Amino acid sequence: MAQPIQQCVIPAAGLGTRFLPATKALPKELLPVGNRPAIQWGVEEAAAAGASEMVIVLSEGKELIRDHFAPSPALEELLRARGKETQLEAVRSVSSLAQFTYTYQDQPLGLGHAVLCAREHVRKDPFFCLLPDDVSYGAAPVLAQLGEAFQRFGTTVLALMRVSEEQISRYGSVAVAETVGKYHRVTGVVEKPAVKDAPSLLAIMGRYVLLPDIFDHLAHQAPGAGGEIQLTDGIGKMLGTGDIWGVEFDGELLDVGTLEGWYATLFRLAPAYAPKALEMAQSVQ
């Protein structure tokens, strides 16, 4: 059996232009989704999948993300003194979710480049990669399902979701050769294809198990779609030396990386997290 995966790389260097002006000073990863910032959902998902170390890739000006995951002794002391045990626990649990390591991407050269920036902090073992633009929702966290697939196949693993013809050009698309239940063996990848060039309507979602060899490919990767160094292209090179499996996962990934998706996610989560909210919204005419 493969060793359990311990590290998770979380790219959080993007500019968040879709949410301006909200993200003028606030990193988009700290926009609240219910009572916690978007990126905390991702860290909790990675911790639930067994990762004990998060390697977060930042860009300049996004230090508030570090502050969020750092211990807050003064705030904790104040909450303790006031007997606010629930809030104290909520604050304390954030910094104890995992061990946090930070690294910086100096230029916005693409997702593949952002992942490459984590190289010096990743041990020579397989690792998770999670894009915090989606929140895992449903019975089993999506990253944990990828971890199970890794235990079974021991290869690079991608999260896959079937999308419509209109949507596929927003994602990486995969060619598949063999299907075993929810698992597909991937034989090709294309980043953001025009619908006529998409090998299938199975889209790569932002959850991965990557093998350390990916860094060599990313270091030599020429810019691809959008003029950026694409993680998908680096993953394609991995097909030269081994198999890749995809998981058409159970449950959902809720988009919090676009304004529409963010609102829709709040509506979806409201019944579970703030049951009176929808009623209140409907009563205001």
Q: For ligand G1P, give the closer residue by CB, 51 or 205.
A: 205
Query: What's the closest the beta carbon of residue 209 comes to ligand G1P, in angstroms?
Result: 15
**What angle is formed at CA 140 by the lines to CA 135 and CA 144, rounded to 5 degrees?**
85
Query: What's the closest the beta carbon of residue 112 comes to ligand G1P, in angstroms?
Result: 8
**d(C-alpha 211, C-alpha 214), whole Å:** 6
Query: What's the closest the beta carbon of residue 84 comes to ligand G1P, in angstroms?
Result: 38
Q: For ligand G1P, give the closer residue by CB, 37 or 132.
A: 132
Q: For ligand G1P, give the closer residue by CB, 27 or 172.
A: 172
Q: For ligand G1P, give the closer residue by CB, 12 or 88.
A: 12
**d(C-alpha 213, C-alpha 217), whole Å:** 7
Interface contacts to ligand G1P, rule CB under 6 A: 111, 131, 133, 171-172, 191, 203-206, 230-232
Query: What's the closest the beta carbon of residue 24 comes to ligand G1P, in angstroms?
Result: 21
246 CB-near residues (< 8 Å, 6+ apart): 157, 158, 159, 160, 174, 176, 183, 184, 185, 186, 202, 204
Cβ proximity of 62 and 128 under 8 Å:
no
Q: Which residue is nearest to ligand G1P (CB)?
A: 172
